[in-house]
Amino acid sequence: MQFWINHNGVQSGPVDLDGIKQMGLTSNAYVWHEGLSDWVSITQVPELQGLYETITQGQPIATAQPQASQTDFHQQQYDYQQPIEPEECPPTNFVWAIAATVLCCIPFGIVGMYYASKVSKLYAAGNIMGAKEASEASAWWSIASAVVGVVWRPLILTLLAT
């Protein structure tokens, strides 16, 4: 289960149970998860019992309960860390690189296939920028292969015919 936390005026999430254990929360923290209609004190969530320090009387309370409903939470009406949607994997351009290799210019197409093969690996490793760069390089090498093939093939055929 994923939780969103408001502790000492700082909101974070989504966080799982292991993440909550490491946060060092106190009993004045508030949480929200799917199924709750509003933010509640961490002390009111049975799944989180024992995962926070109890504040005793005489200690200052650092934050008040957030005044936002579940609807407001999803409509981003106040400052909180929104879950980041992962970016899509950029295109590998592998088909174009193979076509350019077979139909146009073998050396440039092979370089295009090399970069095309790196895109998915870089994306899977979490290197989005590297995957985008490899995708772009693959596209450019495939285009270069096609251009060289279009320019040189007629020239070579002409030379062979004479």
CA-based nearest residue to 31, from 54, 56, 57, 4? 4
For residue 84, being part of any structural domain is answered with no
Q: Are residues 45 and 101 in the same domain?
A: no
Residues 6 or more apart whose Cβ sits within 8 Å of residue 5: 11, 12, 13, 15, 20, 23, 25, 29, 30, 31
Separation between Cα atoms, residue 7 and residue 11, nearest integer Å: 6
- Which are the contacts of 77, defined by CB distance < 8 A and separation ≥ 6? 68
pLDDT tens track for 113-122: 999 999 999 9
Residue at 19 is within a domain? yes
Decide if 89 is inside a domain. Answer: no
- C-alpha span between 125 and 128 (Å, rounded): 8
Domain housing 99: 94-161
In this predicted structure, the answer to whether residue 160 has a pLDDT above a threshold of 60 is: yes
Asked if residue 134 is part of any domain, the answer here is yes
| Residues 49-62, mean pLDDT to the nearest whole number | 54
Which has more confidence, 36 or 55?
Answer: 36
Among 9, 130, 112, smallest CA distance to 60 is for 9
Within a 13 Å sphere around the CA of 39, how many CA atoms are in the beta-carbon half? 19
Q: Which of 48, 75, 102 is the last residue of a domain?
A: 75
The SS3 call for residue 49 is coil
Strand pairing of 25-26 and 52-53? parallel
Residues 12 and 70 in one domain: yes
Strands (E), the chain: 3-7, 10-15, 25-26, 30-32, 40-41, 52-53
Last residue of some domain: 14, 45, 75? 75
% of the chain surpassing 90 pLDDT: 22
Return the SS3 of 38.
strand
Q: How far is CA 116 from the centre of its chain?
A: 20
Per-residue pLDDT, averaged over 46-64, amounts to 57
Q: Please write the tens of the pLDDT for every residue from 75-90.
A: 444 445 555 567 889 9
Tally of domains in the chain: 2
- Domain's final residue, options 43, 75, 107: 75
Instruction: Specify whether 29 is located in the same domain as 71.
Output: yes
- Pick the residue with more confidence: 55 or 94? 94
Looking at the structure, tell me whether residues 71 and 8 fall in a common domain: yes
